[in-house]
Amino acid sequence: MEKIEEYFADLSIAKRSAVTKEPTYLLDIDTSKNVQEENGCIVAVSCSNGSVRLYNRETLSLLRELNGQPGLLKGVKFAHSYSHVFSACTDGTVKCWDMRLSGKTPVQVFKGYPSNVFISFDINCNDHVICAGTEKVGDDTLMVFWDARISSQSTRPVKDPLGVYSETHSDDITQVCFHPDNPNMIVSGSTDGLVNVFDVSVDNEEDALIATCNSGSSVSYVGWSGKEYKQIYCMTHDEGFCWWDLTNLDTDQPVTCLNIQDVREVINVRNGSLDYLVGGLYHEKTDQLLVVGGTNTGTIHLLNCDSSGLTYMRSLEGGHSATVRSFCWSVQDDSLLTGGEDAQLLLWKPGATERTLAKKDNMKIASSVQKRVRVHSNDSYKSRKKHSC
């Protein structure tokens, strides 16, 4: 089996986006699965100014900008099989645009309940179900679900929810992530420290809950990994990392593969330090999990993950000049897109050479969107009847 280091050893900057009139944090990135412009694939980026920017993936030229969001954006996702892009918003909606249309008006709005403030969302792999997680309002913390299918004959632009999960988290639901291959499986993470796995094909929430794993801290990122994606992992707001194997739920083997309270204290980075974690990606070709972190001055650190712990692999330098907020890996050409607080979108490719001699100025910007998520209190945990990790 090939080593994961071979895929990242020669990554260098191929392109960077042009400076825009309004500098903004680039908070989330996704690439089209089935959408082709005349000159290639599309990249969607959610920005701190409330817009979704669409770029050509190869040139990073700005194609369109979708504005008019009344709240802060919380993620951007392309449909897997048709030409739609989705974005959740703190105004309690998930909006959908058709990339074949030139207008900026959403073709569908998925509306939550009046008090909902969405801070996470995802769409499942067959594009049938959308889920969004809310901030805690009063005693309510919800995972809200909609039928994502859009009929060409429908005349109603607003869709109401199918239903909610309301009993399994006690604080803000910061992350929801559907299984890459199984449309019924979803993992959620919260500032209550819990990471829950559900089978949404089951009728009620209590029976749908398959496992509850305790990270011990406020969850900032969740994902799936391992062969057939039977493992889950999470990162926390205080830079912790946890990794669980769901195949061991009904065995005597330990479910927890790794539990690191603060990665910054255990990782040795060559010629520098690790300031934060950004997220992770499962590399199918090598059956290995990669963790992405960085420094406040824009250096990206790539960490390899196995049962013995996290190990430093390499750094990507000379690209960003401030904190990196988002990334997206392409399995088609082994390239990496990154976005950050310097308002830059970068494309990294194996063996690439950036065709510019211009000096890259430090573009770190001030933004009111920079919010600190409160850390949960330990007494917010609830006992669970289901499997606990």
SS3 of residue 228 by DSSP: helix
User: Is 366 or 188 the better-scoring residue by pLDDT?
Assistant: 188
pLDDT value at residue 1: 47
Q: Given this model, what pLDDT does residue 100 score?
A: 83
First to last CA, the chain: 30
**What's the pLDDT at 70?**
67
The residue with tokens 């933004």 is 367
**pLDDT digits 0-9 by tens, 219-273:** 999 999 999 999 999 999 999 999 999 999 999 999 999 999 999 999 999 878 9
Length of the chain counted residue by residue: 389
CATH fold of the domain at 24-273: Methylamine Dehydrogenase; Chain H (2.130.10)
What confidence score (pLDDT) does residue 279 get?
Answer: 98
The percentage of residues in the chain with a pLDDT greater than 90, rounded to a whole number, is: 71
Count of H helices and E strands in the chain?
2, 30
Q: How confident is the model at residue 276 (pLDDT cuts 50, 70, 90)?
A: very high
Distance (Å, rounded) from C-alpha 278 to C-alpha 182? 25
Please report the pLDDT score of residue 352 as a whole number.
Answer: 84
Phi, psi values for residue 295, rounded to 5° = -115, 165
Domain with CATH 2.130.10.10 in the chain: 24-273
Question: Looking up tokens 């803000």, which residue turns up?
Answer: 172
- Please give the pLDDT value at position 238: 97
- Model confidence at 371, pLDDT cuts 50, 70, 90, reads very low
| pLDDT for 99 | 85
At residue 332, the pLDDT reads 87
Q: Which residues of 251-272 are buried (b: 16+ CB within 10 A; e: fewer)?
A: eeeebebbebeebbeebebeee
**Alpha-carbon dihedral angle through residues 246, 81, 78, 39, given to the nearest 10 degrees:** 130
In this structure, which long-range contacts are made by residues 142-150, counting pairs with CB atoms below 8 Å and at least 24 apart in sequence? 142/113, 142/116, 142/166, 142/173, 143/168, 143/169, 143/173, 143/176, 143/188, 144/112, 144/113, 144/116, 144/118, 145/200, 146/94, 146/110, 148/79, 148/110, 148/123, 148/124, 150/84, 150/96, 150/107, 150/108
The predicted pLDDT at position 154 comes to 64
pTM of the model: 0.89
The least confident of 19-33, 123-137, 212-226 is 19-33
Least confident stretch, 11-20, 194-203, 244-253, 259-268: 11-20
Q: Classify residue 380 by its DSSP letter.
A: G
Residue with the bigger pLDDT between 339 and 379: it is 339
- Nearest alpha carbon to residue 197 among 161, 172, 233, 250: 233
Is residue 187 helix, strand or coil?
strand
